Each structure stands twice: as C-alpha cells, then as structure tokens.
Amino acid sequence: MDPPALDIPKSTHTVSVSVIDSTSDIIVPNAFFLQPQVPGFETMRARSVFFLIECPSDNGGPPRRILFDLGTRADWATGLSPATLASLQPMTTLKTSTGEPAGEITVEKDAHTILKEGCLEPDSIEAIIWSHAHVDHTGNPALFGQNTGLVIGPGFGSCTCNSGPGSDDHDHEKTDQALQPHIFPGYPADPESLLLESDYKGRNLRELTSAEFDRAGITIAGLRALDYFGDGSFYLLDTPGHSPGHLCGLARVQEDHFILMLGDGIHHMAELRPNPYKPLPQKYVDSKLLSHFPEGAPDKALFRPAGPKGASMHLDPDQAAVIIAKLQVLDAHSNVFAVAAHDGHVFAALVDAHKDGEPALFPSGTVNDFVARGYVEKTQWTFLKDFAHLV
C-alpha cells in the first residue's frame, strides 16, 4: 500500500544534521515501555543519541545552531532531583529472570563536553530543544551559557494546579493530577519536581503553545507542525502521549530529503514497523517470528506502547499509539530517515559507516546524504536482530 502524501510545505532551504553519540548506555526493562512481552527479550540495551541542527545564516555569518535533546547528564547518580532519583530506583534495581540487571544507566560525558571535544563552542548553541522531560534527554543545560535558550513542547509542564513554567502554587493534592508529573517550578522550589531549577533558571525558556501550532496551520502526516526557523528547513512536530509536551523534529537536509528525529515517540522500531506501508519481508513472514506476537501480522507493528495509564512509563499509552500511527506514515516514505533516540541498531550502522570511511557521526560528518548512502534501506529491518532467537 502506498503511504498518504506528507504535505510538507515546499522550500529550498535546508539544514545540516549531525547525529551525536551522547555516550550514555542504557538498559531498560521492556515491560515498562512495550507490550506484548516476548520470550528471551526482557530488556533493551541502547546507546542514546542527540542531534545538532545547523541553519545557514542569510548574511553569510555563522550558522544558527540548535540541539535536539542532550542525552543524560554525566553526574546523573547524584545530580538529579530527589524525585527523579527515586523514580529511577525501581528500574535500576530490577533483575531479569536470569539474574542480570534489568535497568542500568552509564554515562561517560556531558553533551557540553562532547561539543567542546568536537571543536564546537557550546555557547554558540542558540537553543536546546527538549523532546520531553526524561533524564536520558534533558542532560545538563546549566553547563551552557545563559544565552542558550531552552525550548519545550505544549503542555510540557502545565497542569490545572499551576499556571505553567515557574509557577509557585504547584499542589497536586488539591487537584485530580495523580498521573501528571511535577515539572515547574524545578527542584528545590518544588521538592517533588522532576527538573532542577538550574536546568532553566536565568535563560530564555520558551514553552511552545497549542495556539502557536494552531496559528501555524501546518499539518504533516496528520501531526501539527511548527516551522522553527521560518524558512521550511526544520519543523517541530506535536507528538504527546509518552510524556506531556513531547516533540519530534523533522529536518529538511536536501530539498526533498528529511531526517525524522523521533525522540521517545517510539522506544523500539518494532512499534513503527512493520505497518501497512512497510510490510514485513517475506522471509520473516515464512519464519516463526509472528507466532510469538499475539496480534502479529505482516502489516502490523510487533509492539505497542505498554499500558494502561499508570502502569508504564507512558503518560497516555493510547495517545502514544495514535501518534505512532501517524509517525508510521512519515517513516513509510523512502526520502525520510527515521532516527529514534535509543535505536541501537541504527546507531551501530552509523558507527560502521563511519569506520568504513563514510563520516556519519559528529564531529566528522552529517547524515544529510542518507539517500545516496542507502541508510534507509540498510537499517529499516536491522531491529529484527533482537528477535533472531524467535525466527
């Protein structure tokens, strides 16, 4: 089946996109994120990536630079808010059925250090865009100069008991907000906040609003979009479900070629594929693979977001599933290269390409020529390696 048209506005303006290894290695229990559970696949282990987007200046000066996510802060074990550390404890102390760790986080370097070692001045970053508020994406913005802004999605920190970022009357006990995390104000102003005040204090904090997306009037694959630079080169996509205010990024790297930055819109590519537009290759249909998935079908994703509400790491699993169906439309187009924050298989392919003389990672290269290098074709089914024991 051919996918629907994407309806991306035409533009000749492009950006440069570099995939950056955050140096954070994460093991997570699948049951927190994915369903159904399948034998022999209790945990995911993946390197996290974030992105550098560079928009050429109109006057020939330095490019405008933004980051999409930051990975995990290097001092996460001591530097996070008490509420966040408490929320991580169950995951990091779980064991698999064979006694191995079911959750673990290791980090070598902060994003700030990675940029400096790549000979890019961190203070040249115009803004950091957080896909969402989880620790493996927020990093440590306090290391950046105060001229570096922070951009968050609609509803990122809002709930009925406060008035948005920085409010002082954040009291969930007075409202029905049991599932809504404490975000703003950050710790220590709110002892229960998942953020730190130092993450945003003293810098320009821009919370995109639902009204801004409505006024923009742009819909891409059924998702509301905002033209970040105003020239059609980079769009932010409104993709809530996993967490409040979740954002994905869509970068135009050639006139009709795009990088889709999925953040945690998915946690495993088997939530995205197969689908009606990218059915499972016949050799897997003929294998035993689908028999291990209760709803397995050649044109239906193997996983869906774990649920119900309150029983997984997704704020709204049903909404997350609706968003994934729309992301599948984007992913179905061969001129779109979808990169999830924790897709270890795509990351491994980029590392291999790098070693083979195709600089694909920061600071040596970009993924702008992904079509010429065949990255979509080379990586679209590599996630099936996780199920090799089931075939």
Burial degree of 194 (CB within 10 A; 0-12, 13-18, 19+): buried
What pLDDT digit, counting tens, does each position of 87-102 carry? 888 877 888 888 888 8
Burial degree of 325 (CB within 10 A; 0-12, 13-18, 19+): middle
Of the CA atoms within 13 Å of residue 75, those in its CB half-sphere come to 10
CA 243, CA 90: separation in Å to the nearest integer? Answer: 19
Q: Please give the chain's pLDDT, 391 residues, in tens.
A: 889 999 999 999 999 999 999 999 989 899 889 999 998 999 988 889 999 999 998 887 899 999 999 999 999 999 999 999 998 888 778 888 888 888 889 999 999 999 999 999 999 999 999 999 899 999 999 999 999 999 999 988 754 444 444 444 444 444 444 446 788 889 999 999 989 999 999 999 999 999 999 999 999 999 999 999 999 999 999 999 998 899 999 999 999 999 999 999 999 999 999 999 999 999 999 999 999 998 789 999 999 999 887 678 888 999 999 999 999 999 999 999 999 999 999 999 999 998 888 898 999 999 999 999 999 999 999 999 999 999 9
Question: Alpha helices of 141-233 — where are they, by DSSP H?
Answer: 210-216
What pLDDT digit, counting tens, does each position of 6-33 carry? 999 999 999 999 999 999 998 989 988 9
Ordered structural domains, the chain, with CATH: 16-266+336-390 (3.60.15)
